[in-house]
Amino acid sequence: MLTFAAAVLFLVGTPGPGVLSTAGVGSGFGFRAGLRYLIGLFIGTNLVLLAVITGLAAVILAVPSLRYLLMAASLGYLIYLAAKIAFAGSKIAFITADSSPGVGAGILLQLINPKAYAVNTTLMANFAYAPENLMWETFSKLIIMNLIWVPIHLAWLWAGSSLHRLNLSATSQRRINAVMAAAMLAVVGLALAANLTSNGATP
């Protein structure tokens, strides 16, 4: 169980689309807006977990065309969220940057994120500690994952919204938002590179 918890802590705590977008929304739009987005991420994460438990995720990951479609959709959506954050408060944005991503945005990000399916499948299918009682192990894993997931994402949201509360100049705030967005785009690039590499290594 401790090994499983450590794996969850490592996979959830390291920078990725979820935590970086949470910090970015907090920085660009404040804690309250970020909390709405975070609620959506939480719901989406648990819907993905439900898909993993019921076997739906295995079907999704087994169909290459569907996996590529999800990858393209998730990368495009991350770029969109990065733009929302980068142009928060801007009057020259090509999107409505003064409206923050809400609950629906968080749910959608998780549902179309192939990494969410892969990571949760890895966690649920491995690190067995109660093979004699699979129902208890599954339930306890759900509890452990959420107990770790919630405070980590709240910490990232607090860090981002702390920058928002500093009442910096508009120029400084835009620069911070741009850095947050660039970090998200870096994750997009890494995800795409990893996907292309794994596909190239597959005979």
pLDDT, tens only, 77-111: 888 887 777 776 544 444 445 567 889 989 998 88
**In 10 A of CB 153, how many CB atoms?**
23
Is 142's pLDDT higher than 80?
yes
Burial class (CB within 10 angstroms; exposed 0-12, middle 13-18, buried 19+) of 181: buried
Between CA 34 and CA 183 the distance in angstroms is 17
Buried b or exposed e, range 23-43, using 16+ CB within 10 angstroms = bbbbbbbbbebbbbbbebbbb
Look at 173 and 198; give whichever has higher pLDDT.
Answer: 173
Q: What is the pLDDT of residues 40-86, one digit of tens each?
A: 999 999 999 999 999 888 877 777 787 778 778 878 888 888 777 77
Between CA 122 and CA 155 the distance in angstroms is 25
Quick one: pLDDT at residue 94?
Answer: 40
Quick one: pLDDT at residue 192?
Answer: 63
For residues 193, 27, 34 and 86, what is the CA-based torsion angle, rounded to 10 degrees?
A: -50
Quick one: pLDDT at residue 95?
Answer: 43
If you average pLDDT over every residue of the chain, what do you get?
80
Quick one: pLDDT at residue 164?
Answer: 74
CB 100 within 8 A of CB 25: yes
Quick one: pLDDT at residue 121?
Answer: 85
Between CA 189 and CA 193 the distance in angstroms is 6
Confidence of residue 145 (pLDDT cuts 50, 70, 90): very high
Pure H helices in 63-102: 64-86
Q: What is the pLDDT of residues 24-39, one digit of tens each?
A: 888 888 899 899 999 9
